[in-house]
Amino acid sequence: MISVEQAKQFVNQSVFPLEIIEVTVVDALEFCLAEDVVAPISVPSFNQSAMDGYAFSYESIQEQLPIVAEVAAGDTQKVEIKNNEAVRIFTGSKVPDSCDTVVMQELTELVDGKLVVKDEGLKQGGNIRKKGHQIEVGNLALEKGVRINAATVGFLSNLGITSVKVYNSPSVTIIATGDELVKPGNELEDGQIYESNTFMLKAALNKLNIEPKIVLVEDDKEATQKAISEALENNDLLILSGGISVGDYDFVKEALEYNGVEEIFYKVKQKPGKPLYFGKTKKCYVFALPGNPAAALTCFYQYVNTAINLMKGSKAPSLNDLTLPLIKSIKKKEGRATFYKAFTDYKTVEILEGQGSDVLKSFALANCFVYLDETVQEVSENEMVNVHLI
Ligand code: AMP
Ligand code: MG
């Protein structure tokens, strides 16, 4: 059995970015850039007023200035004024080249229709966003590997960019195994349980803007082999749930071997999720997650999420982590690393009640894991621990 650190290293070494595609900026959410983006224009591309007010030349600030023109946002005609004159101006308007300062209208007065500046703190250049103050044409706007979020979409659009080169996002199938599983919405018979893992994993994938295909398969060797064979053909990533332990009805490992999947690791010294499997074919990566829901989701966040990010070419594939003081001491067995469902207010961290590998009640309230490696036996109150943010 390998350690968590080794398992993570195997994932990091084995997973490579998918092919590069071009997507429109509006469809680029959650993709990662496959090339540096250079600014095609300066932003702003002209000296821009940051306020509703008046523009003028700073030298003439002491005088009463006749207001000789107006520039609204979007006006493109050239307006020039002399020293000792002012222009009515608005937020976002182009500041005439002959003006170097804007005063906000709240700090002015009009006397006989002439402008009197009442802003004692006003400096030359005040209230003007200089051309290129955000970014200059030709400069690096965004680096390869950056994940595209709402602000990135805005920034790219600001630059007038309509499409970008990104690494493709993986196509994913989830196969859930288990004769005991019943879809919510149906009547449960004694001994059956509601199937939750596919909904849960789909939700986690949807957050990454991935829509998986979902397949349910009974605990049957041939059926499992067939479902795996089809999924391997058509996907970049196959996630299995359940059937990977050592029970008499656990056929997943055998069925993966049957389909020629190369095992990279099986079983990790961790809690929850010991029977985690990771393998690959030429075309498809495969994770087989334990069926216990909290174990499945823990393994998803700790390993599958990282693999997806690596496929997407992300610069930061793992969960973000912090070191924070634990608010209550905890004892743990040596020999197995543990991911505890926990809640953090970003100052301290609390391990939640209910750490069983089947328990989602606590997971539903968690916003992080506390990670204790296999050597740790005890952590005292206020001791610093490693926190992985979900
Ligand atoms: P397994 O890994 O197949 O041995 O399953 C371990 C435990 O997880 C059993 O109690 C299963 O009933 C439960 N389980 C397996 N698959 C699912 C699923 N898709 N949704 C909810 N619970 C599951
Ligand atoms: Mg099972």
Q: What is the pTM of this model?
A: 0.93
Beta strands in 163-297, from DSSP E residues, in sequence order: 163-167, 172-177, 181-182, 193-194, 213-217, 237-241, 262-266, 270-271, 277-280, 285-289
**Closest ligand to the CA of 240:** 1
Amino acid 237: pLDDT: 99
What pLDDT score does 263 carry?
98
For ligand 2, the distance from its centroid to the CA atom of residue 13, given in whole angstroms, is 30
Q: Ligand 1: does its nearest atom lie under 6 Å from the Cβ of 242?
A: yes
Q: Give 178 Cα–ligand 2 centroid separation in angstroms.
A: 4
Q: Tell me how far the alpha carbon of residue 315 lies from the centroid of ligand 2, in angstroms.
A: 36
**Both tokens assigned to 291:** 């069926």
The finding on whether 219 has its CB within 6 A of some atom of ligand 1 is no
Cross-strand bridge partners of residue 338: 271, 372
Q: Say if residues 81 and 59 touch (Cβ distance below 8 Å).
A: no
Taking 50 as the pLDDT cut, the residues of the chain under it are none
Ligand 1 atom closest to 198 (CA): 19
Instruction: Write out the two tokens for 382.
Output: 């206020």
Q: Whose CA is nearest to atom 5 of ligand 1?
A: 291
Q: Which domains does the chain have, with CATH numbers?
A: 4-18+169-311 (3.40.980.10), 20-43+133-167 (3.90.105.10), 48-129 (2.170.190.11), 321-389 (2.40.340.10)
| 180 Cβ closer than 6 Å to some ligand 1 atom | yes
Q: What is the pLDDT of residues 227-280, one digit of tens each?
A: 999 999 999 999 999 999 999 999 999 999 999 999 999 999 999 999 999 999
Please give the distance, rounded to the nearest whole angstrom, from the Cα atom of residue 221 to the centre of ligand 1: 17
Residue 118: per-residue pLDDT: 97
From the CB of 272, is ligand 1 less than 6 Å away?
no
Ligand 1 pocket, mutate which of 179, 181, 219, 297 (most atoms under 8 A from CB): 181
In angstroms, the Cα distances linking 289 to 128, 184, 229, 296 are 56, 21, 18, 5
Characterise 320 by phi-psi region: left (phi > 0), alpha (psi -120 to 50), beta (else): beta
